[in-house]
Structure 1
Amino acid sequence: MTQQTVPQQTVPQQTVAQRLASLAADVRRDGLSDELRADVSRRVLDVLGNSIAAADQPAARAVTTVATAWGGDGQATAIGAGTRLPAPAAALVNGTLAHSLDFDDTHLPSVLHPSSSVVPAALAVAEATGASGGQLLDAAGVGIEVAVRLGMGGYDRELGNSVFFERGQHATSICGAIGAAVSAAMLLGLEQKGITDTIGIAASMGAGLLEANRTGGTVKRMHCGWAAHSGVVAAQLAKHGLTGPPTVIEGRFGFLHAFCGDQADVDAVVDRLGEHWELPGIFFKPYPCNHFTHAGIDAALQLRAQGITPDDIVDLELGAPTAVLRTIAEPPEAKARPESGYHAAFSGPYTLAAALIGGGGLGVGHDDFTDESARDESRLALAAKVRCVPDARCDEIFPNQFPAVVRATLRDGSTREVRVDVNRGGPGNPLSADELALKFRTNASHRLTDDAAARVAEATFDLPNAASTTELMSLVT
């Protein structure tokens, strides 16, 4: 009798979306480590502080007015508005607030701000579903991780920059929509299949262009709000039966190819997934302005600490990575005289002047980016002395850091140079617990007393033990 060989069956390899969903399902079941939960709680506090500070911004008021007019059941808190909205609408408002002052955390080298999309979505759904504080932190942590890993899928190492950014696409909102969706799906109780569908749905919703960084407009302020809104809606649709393609990330007509073409790096999205977490290395911002300007601010603050005053300065040269000059230096006339406080936050010349003349908070603060400050002739006169140039060493370091070098020519003919290779607020130069607390108090000071701010911080850091998010959100209404 001839023995027949039974062919071995090959187990189908999981798609990228399925692997991301598997991680989410595992964490929903088992929870994050205590260390990662503690890190996420710091990011929740950072988002709350940034949101409270932005509550009176015109863009925030516009979005809140529209979202409130939609009506619907009051499921979740709109921060600073004193009202409750349906979860997607609350996510839209709070995501807009979180990103409005450009004070949100940054992941390198993907160059995106993950928490401003993900945390508002997670907060809205957690409040609507009565999830515990630990469940909120788990969902937000995974959502942030997914967002930055998708951003890494669009990072070209040979180019030394994000392909999203090179194409004028706002990776923060594009990738953030999927990260927000994963967090929302976890809090809605979806299993791996449902989370995979949620990713497939949300991938059709992410959008955002960066032209406002160059020439004006306030639309960028709501990018994270729309990403948060999209994420919540995607998860709700998946829960009720809408499906998405399992190959939505790596497919021929999928997310990465559509946005980044042949420069996409699919492997980067899932490299050591579940073993290595990008989450703890995400930078907190010490200054409420575009992160590309921060090293220049650090250098200017060092010059100021050396006793150099604006009257001493004849000429200033700001050396930066070539890729960032399009954001902080072009067009030169607009950057030397920004049209508003918001546009000043994206100006290399203005932020140098603010560091040398003004300075609040952790060195440069919100008062440096009011419309009135942006019209201050003493700042504009100093900004007019700044020349922005590409710097070879900065190009070598970027975008693992956002370095800068500042060279000042003084009236006595001497020159001073300060080079900053490592950004303040990241793993190489972290903000202390006291500095993070100062940032939150400064953000909240116009709306909360010191005692109230302390209660918010206490409730946030106690989220791992909280039965719900009700107490925390009541404190920021």
Structure 2
Amino acid sequence: MGDLSYSQKIAQFYVDADIEAIPQRVFEHTKNVIVDWAGCGIGGANIDSTKMIKEVFLSESGNHDCTVFCGQKASESHAAFINGAASHGLEMDDASYDAGGHPAVVILPAAMAVAETVNAKGKDFLLSVIWGYDMMTRVGRGVVPDNCFDRGWHPTAVCGIFGATAAAAWLLKLDAPKIANALGIAGGFASGNLECYADGSLTKRLNPANAAMSAIYAARLAAVGYTGPKWVFEGKHGFFRSYTDNPTPERMLENLDYSEYPIEIASFKPYACCRYNHSPIDSILKIMADHKLKADDIEKIVIDICNMAIRAVVEPKSIKYNPPNTAAAQFSLPYTATCAALFGDVSVSQFTEEKLHDPEIRNFINKIEMVHTGEMDQYLPDIFAALVTIHTKDGRELKQLTKFSKGDPENPMTTKEIKDKFMALSQMTISANRARKIYDAIMDLENFSTIKDLTKLF
């Protein structure tokens, strides 16, 4: 494989895989990933931003063969787009530091749509997701996420499109040359801007949706013979040199020996907000529980954050302290820290128009002080640490450092917690009985002769 490009080597890696050698624990974890994504998608299926997308994409769809969450049908590419946006809307979808973003909301919408089209078996769907996470992680390890963000790119989308393309290509049973071509084509489609962080506009939800849809086009084009650049990743004008400074593209080839399955290192989110908020939330909740504090006991809360959090949840402060809509609130550290202190809860229920104007929240939010001393940067790029100091009215200063927030592999959510999250989110739009049937089906997915036995339940 010495003369092959990175995309060609990785494509061959997928084709040569001994499926029977993949440990069962990987399949079990993959089912939890699908459960988590399905809950996010079902829960987000009828929020306002998804309704607007459906209004456009359902009316324009041609063949309505593929499932859209909550009982509707669309074309293959449009179903991927709608489900991608729906599952990203609640900000509860999984994350992977190595992959550079949120894998599920790009990979799974593309994989499910293609799986339905080709009538894939349940196990093939699972395998496509496993390879999708592998591919996105390889790309994510080669970029410098902090720099990618500084350039305005959304790593979830620009890295995720390659994972979704790998998943779609696997389901289409493409050979190694065509998989490599599909990845090359995907490089031309990679896009997604994050200026939405500044004002709470809704386009962040479109970025993974567009990546999922474009990944299908990349795989479909490669299937009929369209070609993409051989050196799409490492070339002089390739992905890494276009999307980040000082990349390490050689990291794409790490562990190209089936010794790891990166889907196992994805993190699950217990809170309905940007991941940069989670360590501060965990620290606040722990301090208040350990010291039996009430919100009325608090003079102020000082949060020392890492550099990467600033652009997402700290600035501009005029927006972060006064979020104009629920999307902005999801990316406001003052708002989410306030919810943690006041209610001990940062679930979806805290992100409503009514809550945004709650006088109790509006008054307390000014007690949140955000600082960047640089101390938390020592843990980057893979750990989003936060040090919280709660100053009490009786003069105490109570500190808590959180490096691994709840849901990280080092501080995991249990299978029961993932199921409970799925049930809670799903019941935003469907009955508990229907949600239980979907959960049970996903847990038995490898035994399904057709993915449609699952998707008919959505």
**What secondary structure sits across from 1:475 in the alignment?**
coil
Counterpart of 1:69 in structure 2 is 59
Q: Which stretch of the first structure deviates more once superposed, 289-298 or 62-71?
A: 62-71
Cα distance between partner residues in 1 of 2:224 and 2:204: 31
| 1:22 and 2:12 aligned | yes
SS of match in other structure, 1:451: helix
User: C-alpha distance in 1, partners of 2:356/2:22?
Assistant: 44
Cα displacement string for residues 161-219 of structure 1 (whole angstroms, at most 9, x for unaligned residues): 53211212101001111111111111111110111111011111111111111222101
Counterparts of 2:183 and 2:19, CA distance in 1? 19
> 1:84-123 to 2 correspondence within 5 Å?
84-123=73-112
Using the alignment, how far apart are the partners of 1:187 and 1:206 within structure 2? 21
Q: Distance in 2 between matches of 1:392 and 1:177?
A: 33
Q: Evaluate the alpha carbon distance shift between residue 275 and residue 424 of structure 1 in structure 2; reply closer, same or farther with a 3 A threshold.
A: same
How far apart in 2 are the matches of 1:221 and 1:167?
19
**1:252 Cα shift?**
0.7
Correspondent of 1:264 among 247, 255, 267: 247
Query: CA-to-partner distance for each residue in 1:237-288, whole Å, 9 max, x for gaps?
Result: 1111211111111111111111114x11111111112333322111111111
Q: Which of 197, 208, 214 does residue 181 from structure 2 map onto? A: 197
Task: Tell me the amino acid that sits aligned with residue 253 of structure 1.
Answer: H
Q: Kindly tell me the number of residue pairs found equivalent between the two proteins.
A: 456
Indicate whether 1:135 and 2:124 are aligned: yes
Contact 1:28 1:186 in 2 (8 A): no
Match of 2:431 among 423, 431, 449: 449
Q: Deviations over 1:41-71 (max 9, x none)?
A: 1111111100111112222112212211222
Paired residue for 1:307? Answer: 292
1:419 match? 401
**Aligned equivalents of 1:163, 1:270: Cα separation in 2:** 21
SS of match in other structure, 2:456:
helix
Q: Do residues 280 (structure 1) and 261 (structure 2) align?
A: no
Match for 1:124 among 103, 113, 122? 113
The offset of 1:30, in angstroms, is 5.6
Please report how far the alpha carbon of residue 34 of structure 1 lies from its aligned counterpart in structure 2 after TM superposition. 2.0
Partner residue, 1:7? none
Q: CA deviation at 1:28?
A: 8.5
CA contact (8 A) 1:133 1:465 kept: yes
Q: Contact 2:36–2:93 at 8 Å: present in 1 too?
A: yes
1:368 is aligned to 350
Provide the residue aligned with 1:4 in structure 2: none
| Distance of aligned partners of 1:193 and 1:109 in 2 relative to their CA distance in 1, 3 Å threshold | closer
Counterparts in 2 of 1:310-325, with a 5 A limit?
A: 310-325=295-310
The equivalent residue for 1:3 is none
Deviations 1:388-439 (A, max 9, x none): 1114432111232211111111111222212212211111110011111111
- Taking a change above 3 Å as real, the CA distance of residues 126 and 425 of structure 1, as seen in their structure-2 partners, is same
CA distance in 2: counterparts of 1:137 and 1:331, whole angstroms: 41
Q: For residues 305-330 of structure 1, what are the alpha-carbon distances to aligned partners after superposition, in whole Å with 9 as ceiling and x for unaligned? A: 23212211122111111221221111
Question: Are the counterparts in 1 of residues 146 and 308 from structure 2 also a CA contact under 8 Å?
Answer: no
Instruction: Give the distance between the partners of 1:413 and 1:99, measured in 2 at CA.
Output: 42
What letter matches 1:320 in structure 2? I
Distance, in Å, in 2 between the alignment partners of 1:109 and 1:189 is 27
- With normalisation by structure 1, the TM-score equals 0.92
Letter of the 1:39 partner, please give it: H
Asked if structure 1 preserves the Cα contact closer than 8 Å seen for 2:272 and 2:330, the reply is yes
Larger radius of gyration: 1
Give, in whole Å, the separation in 2 of the partners of 1:176 and 1:386: 34
Contact 1:76 1:124 in 2 (8 A): yes
User: Which of residues 327, 335, 339 in structure 2 aligns to 1:342?
Assistant: 327
For the residue of structure 2 that corresponds to 1:204, the secondary structure is: helix
Mapped contact 1:208–1:223 kept (Cα < 8 A): yes
Residue 298 (str. 1) matches residue 282 (str. 2): yes
CA RMSD of aligned residues (A): 1.6
> Secondary structure of 2:193's partner?
coil
Provide the C-alpha distance between the structure 2 equivalents of 1:269 and 1:375, rounded to a whole number of angstroms.
Answer: 47
Identify the residue that residue 390 of structure 1 maps to in structure 2: 372
Aligned partner letter, 1:89: H
Greater mean alpha carbon deviation, residues 348-357 or residues 103-112: 103-112
Contact residue 402 and residue 421 of structure 1 kept, 8 A: yes
Verify: 1:209 aligned to 2:193, yes or no: yes
How many Å separate the matches in 1 of 2:171 and 2:78?
17
Tell me the distance in 2 between the aligned counterparts of 1:434 and 1:36: 17
- The 2-side partners of 1:276 and 1:71 are apart by 39
Written as runs of structure 1 = structure 2, the 5 A alignment for 1:8-87 is: 12-27=2-17, 32-80=22-70, 82-87=71-76
CA distance in 1, matches of 2:9, 2:23: 20
Displacement of 1:84 in angstroms is 1.5
Using the alignment, how far apart are the partners of 1:27 and 1:96 within structure 2? Answer: 32
Distance in 1 (CA, whole Å) between partners of 2:183 and 2:239 is 10
C-alpha distance in structure 2 between counterparts of 1:400 and 1:380, whole Å? 33
Q: Within 2, Cα distance between the matches of 1:110 and 1:118?
A: 12
- Asked whether the equivalents of residues 15 and 176 of structure 2 are also in contact (C-alpha less than 8 Å), the reply is yes
TM-score by length of 2: 0.96
Find the aligned partners of 2:229 and 2:434 in 1 and give their Cα distance.
Answer: 46
* Change beyond 3 A, Cα 1:428–1:391: farther
Note the residue ranges of structure 2 that are not aligned, 5 or more in a row: none
Deviation, structure 1 residue 355: 0.7
Distance 1:376 1:462 in 2: 44
What runs of 5+ residues in structure 1 fail to find an aligned partner?
1-10, 156-160
